[in-house]
């Protein structure tokens, strides 16, 4: 028995960054909006406060803010010949499951993706010829330009309190910033965070090697800040508990402390938590959607929420899952290379070295989410010639720390025993005197990396789990070897006492351990309905009143973290809906 509710203008599925931005923007435009969030209503005051938030076991190891895989998970395999099996607990990536979504537990790294990505196929074909791109690499242009998105990047950076140093303002290169970034209209809202010793040492070494280091732009407020909407931030406390945690200092740009409370104050808005959306409903002619069905997970009751506009704003994987479960758009078939829903799932790759400096105290526990320094010389730097190395894409390299908490991080030189007194002595000696240099690398789309519905396993609602087929291919292996070489050269130039060098990964992708919560693709954007699921406004080609918002629209994955363009595209889509769609509902781009 499904209870049919009163129709609203807009229903939003998932209330993280994208849902929060759209909820605020559309309620302010006078639209009646209902948001359905699967998770609980947690707040900074009540949940992310001292001392309880500083609990590595609860938040990092036990995944307190993350999706509950007992209720819904995915199945995984490396290639279509394998049988997919369920990811029985989280590991490689960590989708959030509370009000604020993954915007609560991210570390805040905020990048502007540029035409390097948006015109990826055109760029490489023009410079290197069509044959440079392997046949099975299904990269394609995105159908959007950096110039179109620039004001929306700006809006997101000022909303989320991004601290950083501009490298290019209006075409003028600025010392101390990223000289390879695309031109921005103005600087970041806040100056960079105070550098830590490890990032300073990396900066010096990278500069001496001829590279262009800069402080990593990050939504960790370097000082108290009030954003243009009036949301107040405290200054970052460098507490070391950033990624995987809510911020008790209100210093991390998060939707539950910015856009969501603003929407909540608007009488046009209603939030229903513990609401699990099971399906998007199509009209009889298949040209529109009419709303969604959802289950109240507190009592199992089922509802239909009719709406004029449906916005899928869940985690990237869940958005694609809902499209497949709802039968909207043609499912992708990697053999025939037909269909679009599930196409071009991408992930990220990387390599890392640990450097040990006897007697040097890095104090790794004093650390902001974004206090690392970075070089972009092998990523957005188009004058880095890929031809001799024969790979598409790039990687950025950072020096510093990532979540250096003691259950997960106790670096020791290779060859140290795993237990006993010698092990204890090594951890005692090196915990504070080691630092890391990491590369984060892009993953280009491959025809066999995709999603579909699993034929065997089901979730708690009786629906098929999503099946993920993914592995790294030759392109990523070549890039990994190049990145490991660059990392090791920088590391050796710093003369560490001991070095665990970076090695290029050659093994298949595995579901453990944690790697990156940057899952992209599946409902990709593009210029036509043959090879993409949504147009440049993230509007479904099939149902014009359905918008699918999130990293699921990225046709490939870059080396950068995804939240910058995820936030910018949410504002861009909000403008398209407010200013164009509601005045004349229909396709915003003619198919």
Partner 1 sequence: MTKQELDRRDFLKGAVVGGAAAAGTAAIATPEIALAQQSSPAAPVAAPGAAGYAFLNLDEAAFVEAMVDHMVPADEISPKGTDLGVNVYIDRALAGAWGKGDRLYMQGPWKQGTPSQGYQLPLTPAQLYRAGIEATNAHCRKVYGKSFDRIEDAQRQEVLVGLSTGKVSFDNGLPARMFWATLYQTVIEGMYSDPIYGGNRNKAGWAIIGFPGIIAVHRDHVEQYRGKPFPNKPLGISDMS
Q: Which residues are at the interface with partner 1 (CB under 8 A)?
A: 50-52, 54-57, 61-63, 68-70, 73, 76-78, 82-91, 194, 196-197, 235-241, 360-361, 363, 365-367, 405-407, 410, 418-421, 424-425, 427-428, 431-432, 456-458, 507-512
- Closest to partner 1 by CB, 59 or 303: 59
Alpha helical stretches, state H, 231-294: 259-265
- Can you spell out the DSSP letters for 453-499? EEEEEE-TTSPEEEEEE----HHHHHHHHHHHHHHHHHHHHT--SEE
What is the pairing mode between strands 349-356 and 434-441?
Answer: antiparallel
- What CA–CA distances, in Å, run from 307 to 5, 275, 429, 462, 569? 10, 16, 60, 25, 22
* Closest approach of partner 1 to the CB of residue 325, in Å: 18
168 vs 237, beta carbon nearer partner 1 = 237
d(CA 329, CA 523): 9
- How far apart CA 248 and CA 255 sit, in angstroms, is 14
**Residue 164's closest CA among 105, 106, 90, 112?**
112
The CA distance from 184 to 571, in Å, is 17
- Structural contact between residues 262 and 229, judged by C-beta atoms closer than 8 angstroms: yes
- Least separation in angstroms between residue 58's CB and partner 1 is 8
In whole angstroms, the minimum distance from the beta carbon of 131 to partner 1 comes to: 32
What's the rounded Cα separation, in Å, for the pair 307 and 5?
10
Specify the residue, 470 or 572, whose C-beta has the smaller distance to partner 1.
Answer: 470
Residue 354 near residue 499 (C-beta atoms within 8 A): yes
Q: Known catalytic residue: 518?
A: yes
User: Phi and psi of 104, rounded to 5°?
Assistant: -80, -45
Taking a C-beta distance cutoff of 8 angstroms, is the pair 441, 479 a contact? yes
| Of residues 61 and 147, the one with the C-beta less far from partner 1 | 61
Q: Which two tokens stand for residue 254?
A: 């998060």
Q: Is the CB of 43 or the CB of 427 nearer to partner 1?
A: 427
User: Alpha-carbon distance 244 to 119, whole Å?
Assistant: 33
User: 51 or 388: whose CB is closer to partner 1?
Assistant: 51
* Residue 328 CA to its chain's centroid (Å): 24
Torsion region of 327: left, alpha or beta (phi above 0 gives left; psi -120 to 50 gives alpha) = left
Q: Report in angstroms how near the CB of residue 471 gets to partner 1 at its nearest.
A: 8
Coil vs helix vs strand at 169? strand
Smallest separation, CB 396 to partner 1 (Å): 23
Cα(130)–Cα(122) distance, rounded to whole angstroms? 9
Closest approach, Cβ 42 to partner 1, in A, equals 17
- The answer to whether residues 193 and 370 touch, using CB atoms and an 8 Å cutoff, is yes
Residues near 109 by Cβ (< 8 Å), separated by ≥ 6? 216, 217, 218, 219, 369, 370, 560, 561, 563
**Distant-in-sequence, close-in-space partners of 354: CB < 8 Å, separation ≥ 6:** 411, 434, 435, 436, 499, 500
Beta bridge partners of 450: 469
Gyration radius from the chain CA atoms: 23
Q: Which two tokens stand for residue 373?
A: 């320094």
Residue with Cβ nearer partner 1 (77 or 536): 77
Q: Least distance from C-beta 75 to partner 1, angstroms?
A: 9
Q: How far is the CB of 524 from partner 1 (least distance, A)?
A: 25
Q: Are 264 and 271 in contact (CB under 8 A)?
A: yes
**Distance of closest approach, residue 470 Cβ to partner 1, in angstroms:** 10
Choice among 212, 482, 518, 556 that is catalytic = 518
What's the min distance (Å) between Cβ of 251 and partner 1? 10
- Is the Cβ of residue 335 or residue 407 nearer to partner 1 in the bound state? 407
- Report the residue number, 272 or 410, with the smaller CB distance to partner 1: 410
Residues 6 or more apart whose CB falls under 8 angstroms from that of 543 comprise 282, 283, 286, 287, 288, 289, 328
CB of 136 to partner 1, least distance (A): 20
Q: Which is nearer to partner 1, 279 or 410 (CB)?
A: 410
**Upstream peptide bond of 513 is cis (omega within 30 degrees of 0):** yes
Task: For partner 1, give the closer residue by CB, 81 or 299.
Answer: 81
Q: How far apart are CA 51 and CA 106, in angstroms?
A: 20
Question: Which residues have a catalytic role annotated?
Answer: 518
């Amino acid at each position: 028995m499904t209870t049919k509710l009163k129709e609203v203008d807009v229903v939003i599925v998932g209330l993280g960054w994208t849902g929060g931005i759209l909820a605020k923007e559309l309620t302010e435009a006078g639209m009646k909006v209902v948001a359905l969030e699967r998770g609980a209503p947690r707040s900074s005051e009540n949940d992310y406060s001292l001392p309880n938030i500083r609990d590595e076991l609860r938040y990092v190891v036990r995944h307190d803010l993350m999706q509950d895989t007992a209720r819904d998970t995915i199945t995984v395999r490396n290639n279509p010949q394998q049988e997919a099996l369920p990811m029985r607990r989280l590991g490689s990536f960590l989708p959030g499951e509370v009000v604020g979504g993954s915007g609560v537990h991210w570390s805040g790294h905020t990048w502007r993706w540029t035409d390097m990505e948006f015109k990826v196929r055109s760029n490489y074909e023009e410079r290197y010829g069509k044959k440079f791109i392997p046949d099975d690499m299904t990269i394609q242009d995105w159908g959007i330009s950096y110039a179109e998105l620039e004001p929306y990047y700006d809006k997101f950076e000022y909303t989320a309190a991004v601290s950083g140093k501009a490298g290019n303002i209006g075409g003028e290169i600025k010392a101390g910033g990223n000289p390879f970034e695309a031109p921005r209209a103005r600087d970041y809202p806040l100056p960079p965070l105070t550098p830590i010793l490890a990032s300073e040492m990396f900066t010096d070494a990278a500069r001496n090697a001829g590279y262009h280091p800069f402080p990593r732009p990050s939504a960790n407020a370097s000082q108290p800040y009030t954003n243009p909407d009036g949301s107040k931030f405290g200054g970052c406390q460098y507490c070391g508990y950033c990624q995987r945690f809510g911020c008790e200092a209100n210093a991390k740009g998060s939707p539950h402390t910015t856009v969501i409370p603003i929407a909540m104050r608007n009488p046009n808005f209603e939030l229903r938590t513990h609401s699990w959306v099971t399906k998007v409903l199509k009209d009889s002619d298949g040209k529109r959607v009419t709303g969604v069905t959802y289950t109240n997970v507190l009592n199992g009751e089922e509802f239909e929420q009719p709406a004029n506009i449906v916005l899928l704003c869940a985690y990237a994987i869940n958005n694609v899952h809902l499209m497949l479960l709802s039968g909207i758009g043609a499912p992708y078939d990697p053999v025939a290379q037909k269909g679009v829903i599930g196409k071009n799932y991408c992930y990220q790759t990387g390599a890392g070295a640990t450097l040990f400096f006897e007697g040097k105290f890095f104090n790794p526990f004093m650390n902001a989410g974004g206090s690392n320094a970075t070089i972009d010389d092998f990523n957005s730097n188009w004058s880095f010639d890929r031809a001799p190395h024969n790979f598409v894409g790039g990687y950025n390299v950072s020096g510093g720390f990532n979540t250096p908490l003691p259950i997960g991080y106790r670096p020791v030189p290779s060859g140290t025993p795993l237990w006993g007194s010698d092990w204890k002595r090594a951890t005692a000696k090196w915990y504070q005197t080691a630092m890391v240099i990491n590369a984060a690398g892009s993953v280009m789309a491959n025809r066999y990396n995709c999603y579909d519905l699993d034929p065997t396993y089901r979730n708690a609602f009786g629906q098929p789990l999503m099946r993920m087929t993914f592995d790294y291919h030759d392109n990523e292996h070549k890039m990994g070897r190049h990145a490991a070489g660059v990392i090791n050269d920088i590391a050796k130039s710093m003369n560490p006492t001991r070095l665990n060098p970076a090695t290029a990964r050659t093994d298949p992708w595995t579901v453990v351990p944690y790697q990156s919560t940057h899952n992209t693709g599946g409902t990709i954007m593009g210029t036509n309905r043959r090879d993409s699921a949504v147009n440049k406004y993230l509007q479904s080609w099939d149902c014009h009143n359905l918008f699918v918002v999130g990293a699921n629209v990225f046709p490939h994955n870059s080396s950068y973290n995804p939240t910058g363009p995820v936030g910018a595209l949410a504002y861009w889509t909000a403008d398209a809906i407010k200013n164009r769609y509601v005045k004349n509902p229909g396709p915003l781009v003619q198919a």
